[in-house]
Each structure stands twice: as C-alpha cells, then as structure tokens.
Structure 1
Amino acid sequence: MASVTCIVFLLMSVTMLATLPLADGRDKKTDDDLESPQLSDFVREVSDDEPEAARRPKLSPLRLGQCSASDYEPDYDDENAEDFYDNIDASNFFDDDQDAGKSLDDNAQFADPRCADGHVKQGKASGGHCFSNDKSYAVHATMTPYSIARTNNLTASKLAPEGCKPVQLWHLIRHGSRSMHRMDFMKMETQLPMLQKMILAAHSVGNGELCSHDLALIRVWNIKDMRMGKAGTLTPEGKAEVKGIANRFKAVLPNLVYKGYSISKPPSENARQQPGEGTKVAFAPSRQTYESSVAYLEALYGRRWGHFGLPVKGSKSLQYFHYCKNYVNKVMSRNKKHKPFHTFSKGKFIQEVMDSVSKRTGVNITLTKLRTMYNACRYQASWNPQRLSPWCTVFTPGDLEILEYWEDLRMYHDHGYQHSITYKQACILGKDVIRHFRKRIDRGNNATDSTAYFVNVEAFVPFLALFGLFKDTEALTSEAINKNRLWRTSKFAGYGSNFGLLLSSCTGESTNYWVTAIHNEEKIKLPGCDTSLGCPWDKFLNEYDFLEDCHFFRLCIRFTRRMCRPHNWHLTYIMNNWM
C-alpha cells in the first residue's frame, strides 16, 4: 500500500512540474516586478480635503500598454506624531538609499523593468514653466534661509549718533535651519514616493508639463534625502547661519559681544575674570535653540566655549507662549472655521494652485498632497539654498507667492496682530530689555555687556509685533492677497532672523543714552522714533513704558496642575495647522 501511495505522489509531482514555466526567471514575480497601475489610480478624484475637488482639471486617460508607474500606494495622513522635544532617534524610519549614485543627466528616463525596448514616451516638457531655469522666487515664509532674507552685512558705521559709544546689546535670535518634525517626515514617507512614481508615469504617457530638467530632479529624488538627523537638529546651514551672526556682531561690536580671555595671562591682564563674563546667553527649551546657542558660543570662543557655563535647561520665559492660558484658549484653540488660514485653504487661490500643480505634474493634487510637497520644497531649500529642491519644481513662481501668503496669514492671526493677547504676552521679554538697560543707566551696573536669547518663531514674531513692527494699515484676510504688504515673514521671521536693541552712551548735552533697533543686521525705525538711527533713552522709555508694567500671569492666568502639560496643546496645534 505504501508503494502505491509513493507512486501516486510522484505522478502528481511530475504533473505539477510540467505546468511550471521555463527556469529563465521571466515569469517569476519579484519585488521589482510590480503590477501596472489601473487607469482609475491616476484619473480618479481623491477629495480627502476639499469638497470642490470635482472642479479640478481632468487628465487625459493613460494608455496602459505604455510604460507606466509601479507600486501604487494609497494616500493617507498619519497623525500619530510624537512630541518633537523627545530625544528619540528616528533613524529606524528610514530605508536604505536605493537611488544612490543616480545621475542627474537631463536625458535620463524613467526605466520600467517590464519595457523590453526601454523607450518611454516624453511628457509635454516644452509647454510649461521650467523651474530649473528660473529660480527667482526663493522665499518660503518662515522657512526662508537667512542668507536670502539678509540683504546687507552688519557694519560699525552709523549704529549710533556721533558722540555716542555702544555699551550694551540685547539680542533676540531665532534658531537656524533645522531638520523636520517627525510628523512631517511621516507624511512625506507615505505620500512623496507614491507621488514621485505617479508623476513619472504620467509624463511617460504624455501627461504633465514638467521640463526635462525638473523631471530629472524628481526622478533621482529619494526619501532618504529628507533625513537630516533627529527632529529639531540644527543642519549645517543652520549652524553656519548662527555662526555668521555671531562673527559679524563680534567684528562690529568687539567690546560687547566678546571679551578676550587668556588662561596663560594673569587676571589683571584679562578684560574679564573668566571666559564669557559680561555675556549672557540663554535658550528656549528645544533642541534647535540649544544647538543654536552652542553654535553661537563656538563662533565666539572656539573649542573653549564649554568654559562659558551655558545653562543646562532652557528658559521657560523664552517659551512664554506655552504658559499663557488666555492665549492658548482664545487664539490657539480657536475653531478652525473661525481662522482665515483655513478659510483661505478652501478658497479660490489655493484651488488655483492645486489646478496649476495638477496640470504641471499630470497628477490630480489634493490639499494634503499640496501641503506635503510644499513642505518638502521649503525644507530642502532651507537646508541647502544653493541647490534646487526637486519638489519646488512642481510649482510656478505664482504658486509659491500664494503659498507664502497662506502661511503669512496663519502667522498674522495666530502669532501676530489679530489678537492683542498674542503680542501682549511677549511683554515678558520687553520687561527684560528695560531691566537690563536700567541696571546700567540708573545703577551704574556694568556687569552685562551683551545678552543673546535663542527662541522659536512663535516667541520671535509676537515680540516684533509688541514693538509695532511690520504692521499694515489693514489686517490680512482670506479674500484678497496684498502683494505690497509689510507683513511678509520671509523678510523678518525666517531661520536665523534676529532683533537687537543697542544701548549707546553719549557725551552730548541733549541725552546721555541712545537706543538703536537692529533687525537682521540692519537699522530699523521703531514706531515713535524719528529715524532708523533710533531714539534718546528718555523718548524710548516714554514710548514703551508699558513694558515695565508687564504682569505676565495676571495677563495670561496661570496654568494649574490639573491642566495638561503646556506643550501637548502645541503639538495638537501643529498637527492641525502645520504647513
């Protein structure tokens, strides 16, 4: 019986083997042999954000006989983001670079492994704007690199009136360019590779209007390009931004920003008794502000910056917006329907951008995809301003101008002039200015020559508004775009942006002290002052006397222990509002 069973089993095995293909590997399905996407994958409307998605331009049908995209993945948003302050290495989120060594050859083509002849039909490359040949629009709101926002180098001339000598500097500095939040990377990881394949496939069958240069950049892009270390880590460009600021202020104000010290010299021959004495440096509780303060000290003291005695923990006062209950409840937690930023995203301007990008890429673009591509564009542009980001090529200069206004609108209403509590809470920093200057003027205390505080944009922008800077006569709205507006964050609140108040001692009879405002290394006229050179101390104090009357917790109401940790609400805000 056993022998009969063996014979039957052998016969069945031979029959099965006979049905298998020849062992040349052609019919074997591997990871690289992916199914061709269906027509509906490219022409269907995905209206996960906008009810008006049906109004988007329809793309011409794909001919599935041509070489097309592969590995279509569903589009979704992963909102399970973590607190970007946590010290967790996100390196496990990244795969190996599969595109290392790819050429940027303009004639390189999208090679589908299933195409025997290797021929790919070109898209309408000559019909649209070629971003690679026109890089005129390089500003991206609050993520604009400092090298683009800064127009002139700081010079010692005309920082104070004749007969006046600078004696003290109070300096507020936004951190330099940083790596992205983990939640941003999670969205890019799930969306950008799929969009890359869809764009290449659309152009292979005649859809889309990207030129060959722009298409080549998208072709060689890899998700690993978005990896710049842990969340909030300062990029090489960010370190260069901060070090450049330190070196230029050191050169212009050598006796304030930097006091020479040599260990080999006796104390009597040193300007100070220890390194860094006379200079105060503090940072807000975040990785990017801490690393910015370290870069600042490295530029001043080199390898001996550790002798300076930088605080171990960040200052809560520099993160004041986390602890203002009235601000959180009345502004940040406000319903989306009442925020012009969200109204604008549903309006005609953003719809025009989505239509434009859909036409250029050959792929129907939703608001979620638009936001993800714009973030990828400006992150890479801030990391390396000299190198064109592949994801910037999907936009025209007109598109980028609208997207810039989109974030300017958010900053205006959530961090600017729309609600008085927003800028009034920044009085905690204004009071610090008056206190430091009064010590020298009223008490003759010369212990502090310079103060450098490193903050996030949410603390930097309200402080500028507190002084009435960059204020338009009419509020920003979602109905129209004012191209001549003063409130343009790409000019005053990008990475590395800084605002300083310089106190000078004068020998003239009219005034004993003079205050000059410096923004991004240029003098700026303060409201109430006659010129950009500044004001006499008495006039400055009369104009901004409200700073001394700052009662932060009376204005904001204290958080209680029963409330959640303050940065939890901020994380929720970022998840729902982040550009």
Structure 2
Amino acid sequence: MKRATALLLLVVSTLLASSNAEEAFDVRQHLSTVTRYSVAKQVAENSFVRFMSSNVPDGCTPIHLNLVDMRSSLNVGFYHQARHGTRAPTKKRIGELNKLEARLEPLLRDAEEQKLPLQKVPSWLSGWKSPWKGKLKGGELITQGEVELYDLGIRIREKFPDVFNEEYHPEVYAIRATQVPRASASAVAFGMALFGGRGNLGPGRNRAFAVISESRASDILLRFFDSCENYKDYRKREEPAVDKLKEPTFDEITSALVSRFGLNFTRQDTSSLWFLCKQEASLLNITDQACSLFTPSEIALLEWTDDLELFILKGYGKSLNYQMGVPLLVDVLQAMEQAIKAQEEKLPAGSYEKARLRFAHAETVVPFSCLLGLFHEGFGFQQIQREEPLEPPPKPPQRRNWRGSVVAPFAGNNMLVLYSCPANSSSKYFVQVLHNEDPIPVPGCDGSDVCPFEVFKERIVAPHLKSDYNTLCNVNPVKAEQCPSTTSKSSLLFRWLSWLWNDDKGSRKDDL
C-alpha cells in the first residue's frame, strides 16, 4: 500500500512538473531573429549565455563610443551598430501568407469531404484571413520598432552622459543608415531620443539631425553583403543545401501535425505556419493561434532550424560570411585611433568625433559579432582567426550559445566603448564590448568584456586583415577617372541600372 501511494505521488508530481513547464514556456522567447528586443533581453538573462558585470578599471572614462543598432573629466567615445527595430513582413513573405490563407480553405474542405473527425481542428483555422492581406508593400518599421529604437536612444544617453553632452554636429555625432527605409527610420527614432529636448522644434524641443546613407551599390561598411559577388554566389549555392538539412525536422513535425489534427499538412504548410507563428507572436502578441499548433519541443526544433540557417548563411558556417565585414571592423578601429589622437593632442570639445552610430540589418550585425568572436560554443576562437568554419550549433535538447534571439533580435546591437584611464592603470586605453547593452566576454580579451586597446588591435582586428575586401569578394571596381575612356556614359548607366534592377528582384529585399 505504501509503495502504491509513493508511486501515485511520483506520477502526480511528474505530471504537475510537466504542466508547470508547459505553462512557463513562452514561445516569444523562441523566435530566432524575429524576437522583439525586450524579449531578447529576457532570453539573455535567463539563458546560459554568460553576460557579465563590467570590468572597466577604476578611474577610466570613455572617450569614444561606437554603436553598430566614466569618472574623470576626460571626454568619451562610442561606436554603436544596431539592427533595425521590429518590422512588418516583407512583400515576399506577405505573398506566402496569402498562399497559406488560400491553402487552408481547401485543406479543411477536403477533410470534411473525407468525413475526418474535425473536433480536434482549432476553430481559428476555419475562415482565417492573413492580417496583412491586401498590403501592397511590406518590410517597414512598425510602431513597436520605433519605440524599441527610441527607448534604446534614451538609455544610451543616460548611460553615457559625458559622451552626449556636446552640442549636436554631424561630425561629432555621426549617424549612418543603409538605404533601406526601416534602417533609416530606426536611425531617426534613435536620434529623436538622443537629441530630444535640445532644440527648438515643437513641444518636445526637438532638433534636426543628419542621417547619412551610402548607395546600396557601394556601401561596403553596412551592406558589404550586397557588393560581395563571392558571397552572393555562396548564398545561391548553399541555400538549397540548408533547406535539405532542415527537411528531416520539418518532416517529423509535419507528421506530428497530421496525426494531431487529422489534416493533410505538407512540409510547406508547416514552414508557412511556423512563419505565421513568429509574425503573430512578435508583431501582434498572439500566441494562441498558429503557435498553439506546435508543442514546446517542436518549437525548440523549429527555432533551431532558423538558428542553423543563420549560422551557415550569415555566421560561423563559412569564414567569408564575416570576413567580408572587415571594412566595418577597420572603420571602428580607425575611429578609436582618431579618438586617441584627439585625446593625446588635447583638442577642444566639439572639434572631434565622440560617437559613430550605425543602423543596418542582421546581415551586418551577425558578421560583426563573429569578427569579435562572440557566441561560438567555446572552442572556436582560434578557428575563427584561421578563417575555418565552425561546427553547427547542437540540436535540442542540447544547449547552445548560438541563438538568433540573442545574437540578432530586432534592434540587436553591438557597442564598443573606448576608455581613457589614469596613468597608474595597466594600460592607458581600454576597449569595452557590449552586446545588446550588456558587457559580454570576448575570447580574444581572455574572456573579459574589457581589453587594453593594443590587445584589442593585435588579437581581435589584426588576424582578420589577411586580405582586402575586393580580393575576398572578387570585386573589380572601375576607377572613376577611367570611366570616360573605357565605357560610354550611357553604357555605364545601363549596366548600373540593370544590376540594381536584377538585384532588387533577388533576396536583398528580405534583408533581416
């Protein structure tokens, strides 16, 4: 009797634990790169990805800040690189959801004609309409994305008051974005927060500020993937292979859906329903429709397939993915060297750059994170510097560092802060690395978030300078002075327009 009672208690406790785990599961934390920024911060806090307290030495003050999205009287520097905020689905993806809507009606009708039991079919499937049906355009920054970047700007201004204490000038606070509306809109939202209350425009005392963009055809700092012919060839070759890697997982989950709901779902249906789940959960905060079709373990697998694709096509799966981002890394280094020179020469405030603020895409942020050696599985830093591909992220239920929800969520960012330190410090200048605003251990800095500047330059930057961008990407730029003698103006214009038209029809409109 005692044994029976003990067994019953064990079964009940197991069921309760399982039930609690199901209730605690939040699909919004498992959406890979479609994750909202605020949720991504929760994922980082609750995961095994080890963020840390700041290791900045006492008495050091930041003198330059780089955004790629302080106790002495010295000036501050900042480099910031951010992905755009939460956006609507692109025109191509809206078309996919329209096809799903058209697909569901005959799927349900066929089940009725075969007299299959439909009591297990969720009621929302009947008559479902895509929330984006009828939209002719897509990919724009939504209100939620604007708020993400605005709030980010507020926090950064509060965290680094000495950086943003100067009167605005575009050569003091340089803001750049790619020639994609959601990126430039993100820059504007960020800038409104950063410089709000410091002008004379409207009740908020806003002020105008400049956002500079390079042509898509020549922007090798923020859209290096657009001009890299070797990378575009690699993507074209590798995408079918990535789809093949994902097929067993999708087939397994498709089979489970068919068994669970009695509908004749295909692999494509499962893929479209997963995409719908991500859009509903991230953009609309709806988790009880498409997402409810999948179990937590299935969602973990689907998230992993997205992370695997990100790894292979944009991350550590091939060194070209991040090596083509070296011009951006060099730009960061040059900004720091200029800040150090201004510090050494004691230039007056307002005469030198204090921050570089960059707003782009996941295709920009991910390679930059890889160049810094972030988010590999713990043994890959030397391979990264030797330009060798790393092993893909392990499949659930194994844990992994590489998660798109942390590496490149909406509004995800890298910040590099250059500090000037007292004479009694081990180094005069230090670089701190922050990811999504949190200090993060950098392998090249002995697992610290803070590196002596010369160590950062020697261990992080120098190993990636083995070849230049043009050689790596097989780019043969035509020198401007050669154009009149080698190509007629009309012929050159036709070539550029043809390239832009063909490229616009490709995948770049779906930049993350």
Q: How far did 1:336 drift?
A: 4.9
SS in 1 for 2:358: strand
Q: Which has the higher contact order (CA 8 A, sep 6+)?
A: 2
Partners in 2 of 1:395 and 1:516 — Cα distance? Answer: 41
User: Could you tell me which residue of structure 1 aligns to residue 227 of structure 2?
Assistant: 323
User: Could you tell me which residue of structure 2 aligns to residue 541 of structure 1?
Assistant: 457
* Residues 237, 384 of structure 1: 8 Å contact kept: no
Structure 1, residues 405-449: CA drift from partner, whole Å, max 9, x if none? Answer: 111111111111122111111101100110000001135466111
User: Does structure 1 residue 368 correspond to structure 2 residue 259?
Assistant: no
Which amino acid letter does the alignment assign opposite residue 473 of structure 2? C
Q: CA 1:205–1:327 in structure 2 vs 1: closer, same or farther (change >3 Å)?
A: closer
Structure 2-normalised TM-score? Answer: 0.74
RMSD: 3.5
Q: How many pairs are equivalent?
A: 427
User: Could you tell me which residue of structure 1 aligns to residue 339 of structure 2?
Assistant: 440
SS in 1 for 2:427: coil
| Residue 280 of structure 1, aligned match among 152, 155, 174 | 174
Q: CA 1:448–1:356 in structure 2 vs 1: closer, same or farther (change >3 Å)?
A: same
* Residues 82, 411 of structure 2: 8 Å contact kept: yes
Partners in 1 of 2:316 and 2:501 — Cα distance? Answer: 23
Q: How far did 1:345 drift?
A: 2.9
Q: How far did 1:208 drift?
A: 6.1
Partners in 1 of 2:118 and 2:405 — Cα distance? Answer: 34
| Residue 163 of structure 1, aligned match among 59, 67, 74 | 59
* Residues 80, 357 of structure 2: 8 Å contact kept: yes
Q: How far did 1:135 drift?
A: 4.7
Q: CA 1:313–1:539 in structure 2 vs 1: closer, same or farther (change >3 Å)?
A: closer
Partners in 1 of 2:427 and 2:391 — Cα distance? Answer: 39
Alignment of 1:388-537 (within 5 A): 388=287, 390-444=289-343, 447-472=352-377, 473=379, 475-476=390-391, 481=396, 483-509=398-424, 510-537=426-453
Partners in 2 of 1:572 and 1:457 — Cα distance? Answer: 17
User: Could you tell me which residue of structure 2 aligns to residue 565 of structure 1?
Assistant: 499
Q: CA 1:195–1:135 in structure 2 vs 1: closer, same or farther (change >3 Å)?
A: farther
Q: CA 1:220–1:253 in structure 2 vs 1: closer, same or farther (change >3 Å)?
A: farther
User: Does structure 1 residue 334 correspond to structure 2 residue 233?
Assistant: no
Partners in 2 of 1:328 and 1:229 — Cα distance? Answer: 27
Q: How far did 1:275 drift?
A: 5.5
Q: How far did 1:196 drift?
A: 5.8
Partners in 1 of 2:296 and 2:504 — Cα distance? Answer: 32
Which amino acid letter does the alignment assign opposite residue 565 of structure 1? W
Q: CA 1:291–1:478 in structure 2 vs 1: closer, same or farther (change >3 Å)?
A: closer
Structure 1, residues 169-213: CA drift from partner, whole Å, max 9, x if none? Answer: 111101111111111111211222541674599599633635xxx
Which deviates further from its counterpart, 353-362 or 560-569?
A: 560-569
Which amino acid letter does the alignment assign opposite residue 223 of structure 1? S
Q: CA 1:305–1:430 in structure 2 vs 1: closer, same or farther (change >3 Å)?
A: farther
Structure 1-normalised TM-score? Answer: 0.66
Alignment of 1:109-148 (within 5 A): 135-138=25-28, 139-148=30-39
Partners in 2 of 1:225 and 1:327 — Cα distance? Answer: 32
SS in 1 for 2:237: coil
Which amino acid letter does the alignment assign opposite residue 374 of structure 2? L
Alignment of 1:54-65 (within 5 A): none
* Residues 141, 488 of structure 1: 8 Å contact kept: yes
* Residues 171, 500 of structure 1: 8 Å contact kept: yes
* Percentage of pairs with the same residue: 24
Which deviates further from its counterpart, 295-304 or 541-550?
A: 541-550
* Residues 176, 213 of structure 2: 8 Å contact kept: no
Q: CA 1:275–1:426 in structure 2 vs 1: closer, same or farther (change >3 Å)?
A: closer
Partners in 2 of 1:192 and 1:132 — Cα distance? Answer: 29
Q: CA 1:443–1:136 in structure 2 vs 1: closer, same or farther (change >3 Å)?
A: closer
Partners in 2 of 1:545 and 1:478 — Cα distance? Answer: 27
SS in 2 for 1:234: coil
Q: How far did 1:508 drift?
A: 3.6
User: Could you tell me which residue of structure 1 aligns to residue 160 of structure 2?
Assistant: 253
Q: CA 1:344–1:546 in structure 2 vs 1: closer, same or farther (change >3 Å)?
A: closer
Partners in 2 of 1:177 and 1:397 — Cα distance? Answer: 24
Q: CA 1:447–1:550 in structure 2 vs 1: closer, same or farther (change >3 Å)?
A: farther
Which amino acid letter does the alignment assign opposite residue 229 of structure 2? K
Which deviates further from its counterpart, 134-143 or 309-318?
A: 309-318
Segments of structure 1 that go 5 or more residues without pairing to the other structure are: 1-128, 260-270
Partners in 2 of 1:471 and 1:226 — Cα distance? Answer: 39
* Residues 131, 396 of structure 1: 8 Å contact kept: no
Structure 1, residues 194-244: CA drift from partner, whole Å, max 9, x if none? Answer: 41674599599633635xxxx355457532356778322111111111112
Partners in 2 of 1:357 and 1:518 — Cα distance? Answer: 41
Alignment of 1:36-75 (within 5 A): none
Structure 1, residues 329-388: CA drift from partner, whole Å, max 9, x if none? Answer: 2x2121555x2x2222332x2211111222333311112211211111111222134x42
Partners in 2 of 1:578 and 1:435 — Cα distance? Answer: 27
Partners in 1 of 2:162 and 2:109 — Cα distance? Answer: 58
User: Could you tell me which residue of structure 1 aligns to residue 470 of structure 2?
Assistant: 553
Partners in 2 of 1:300 and 1:208 — Cα distance? Answer: 54
